[in-house]
Amino acid sequence: MSLLKKVQDLAGTEPVQAALVLGSGLGHLAETVDGVSIPYDGLEGFPHAGVSGHNPKLVIGTLSGARVAILGGRAHYYESGDSGVMRPPLDLMRDLGAEILLLTNAAGSFRPDIPPGDLMLLSDHINFSGKNPLIGEQTDARFVNMTDAYDPALRAALTEAARAEGVVLKEGVYAWYSGPSFETPAEIRAIHRLGADAVGMSTVPEVILARFLGLRTAAISTITNMAAGMSDEAISHEHTKQMAPVGAAKLERVLRRYLATLASQ
């Protein structure tokens, strides 16, 4: 039995309107979906999302009136050294009918005007790691045009959803650092000079894969800390998990408002 048929046998064949990848602090959002929850370990080819703070389940159903497919956890490059580890889940999102992919993550900010607890809408990214999930792809489709990878119309819609919810949502450039160690202050200075506004350990390979698959993409970072050397706070994964829910509460409101608008179209 194909993976698609297995999932559709459980969740139905109605196409999903949007797919979401949930980062740290947002796992509970999947629990509010009226639908079906499928653990990753029951889905062939799905990764083992082994980072604490993630909930590795595929949830398909209705959220704020829209039919969605939610990936409750992601696998990161630093877990296995495979930058294409999220391709099977994203392949499935496309096969389920999604045309839109909304990504969320936790990130460290370089900008005093986007402090911990705030959100940043990604306008572009810098692949500071140099890794690419399409290495090894044999077709000419691997030469993906990454101009406007973060869809302008989706960004405008999310900005309007934030405005309607009274949530401040500034735009910025996200840099992907491989992890799992945090960046040094010297690395942060280098990344900042290259033009980044925040740094994190995910999202960029997923955006590359999504554009390869023909999905429209948008992404929002929950800022959990100032980047290394920019404040006196001690940076750790525990700190990230503690701070993520602060911004995630705002992000949930934005996502729900956007999905309600999408459902009405």
Give the catalytic positions in this structure. Answer: 24, 54, 76, 78-79, 106, 201-202, 225, 237
**CB distance 90 to 210 below 8 Å:** yes
- DSSP SS3 for 91: helix
**CB distance 187 to 177 below 8 Å:** yes
CB atoms within 10 A of CB 223: 27
**CB distance 172 to 114 below 8 Å:** yes
d(CA 5, CA 183): 42
Beta bridge partners of 38: 58
d(CA 46, CA 43): 6
- In whole angstroms, how far apart are CA 242 and each of 24, 74, 150, 205, 245? 10, 19, 28, 25, 7
d(CA 217, CA 19): 10
What is the amino acid identity at position 114?
Answer: I
Q: Of 214, 243, 265, which is closest to residue 109 (Cα–Cα)?
A: 243
